[in-house]
A = this chain, B = another copy of it.
């Protein structure tokens, strides 16, 4: 298996990417080969004095980098020698199995749709981050921002794609799929969700669990929550924002009094454990589902460990045959 990694994307690139790749080569099995796309000099410097299997870690020189400030589609079209573009191209050309990047989300999406391209029959690829839930598992939000205006037919495919991923990568048997809505009752919703609900009810191969209210995201009662990318983005970011605000408020309160400070110090391991549980770096990254090959968008702030996790996730995605399963599900549905 060959993974094509954009080594120049993310706040801590290229060192964190290189270190994550080295960790992966050591512990994820001999069948794993990693291609690092980026500035040859910088990558060689990052690898200096570190022993690594030269046959399984290959530097692929790329002279350009796409930044987060650039207009994504334009940058992807123009910068033919960008690390991200070349890594995506390796997957598009069938040379590599999965493309990973911690760079600009918009540019990764553009690489997926413009270079790797949609699976035949898939109307819209979807970005699908995984949120830790209180049952100790993960809940997928699909779509979380790739498609801000959606039709019900897209959402139906999001359900198929989310179900395939949760089964094949997370190992969930018959994943429960929810429809993000403003109430639990079947008749609730806006035009889009009202139209989508009966379609999901009738969809073969899917275990539809009905409407999921936003407050249930972290309950663990749903394995994947289907939504248009605008509402999905709101769901993702408000969950992150609220978690951060609550933690910050609680820390302020704990520091507010001597008693509180002592309590806080003693309770520190609990905070650390919470942080670990809520840590998205444990997940790896968000897959872009519905394109002709693996795509993982790692967090911009990824460190070596989170990059390692993204690589492990990519390995599961490829081994599990998620792309093939999505292609099959979509074709059967069309058929």
Give A residues with C-beta under 8 Å from B.
Answer: 133-134, 145, 148-149, 180, 182, 189-191, 193, 213-219, 228-231, 233-250, 253-254, 256-257, 259-260, 262-271, 273-274, 277-278
Contact = CB atoms under 8 A, between A and B. Distances in A.
B242 A256 contact: no
Contact of A271 (B215, B247, B250): B250
Give the oligomeric copy count. 2
Contacts of A149: 190-191
A263 B273 contact: no
A259 B248 contact: no
Contact of A233 (B214, B249, B273): B214
The residue in A190, A257, A259, A265 that gathers the most chain B C-beta atoms within 10 A of its C-beta is: A190
A299 to B, nearest CB: 14
B269 A266 contact: no
A215 B190 contact: no
A264 B264 CA distance: 8
A249 B279 CA distance: 13
Contacts of A245: 133-134, 218-219
The residue in A145, A214, A217, A278 that gathers the most chain B C-beta atoms within 10 A of its C-beta is: A214
23 contacts: A134-B248, A148-B182, A148-B191, A149-B190, A182-B234, A190-B228, A214-B241, A215-B240, A216-B241, A217-B242, A219-B245, A231-B234, A239-B242, A253-B271, A253-B273, A253-B277, A256-B270, A262-B266, A263-B267, A263-B270, A264-B267, A266-B267, A267-B267
A273 B245 CA distance: 14
A75 to B, nearest CB: 15
A269 B257 contact: yes
A243 B242 contact: yes
A237 B260 contact: no
Contact of A238 (B215, B265, B266): B215
Contact of A214 (B190, B218, B238, B264): B238
Contact of A148 (B190, B246, B248, B264): B190
A240 B233 CA distance: 16
Contact of A182 (B190, B191, B233): B233
A214 B237 contact: yes
Nearest to A134: B245
A243 B242 CA distance: 6
A241 B247 CA distance: 14
Contact of A269 (B218, B259, B273, B278): B259
Across chains A and B, which 3 residue pairs bring their CB atoms closest together, nearest first? A263-B266, A215-B241, A263-B267
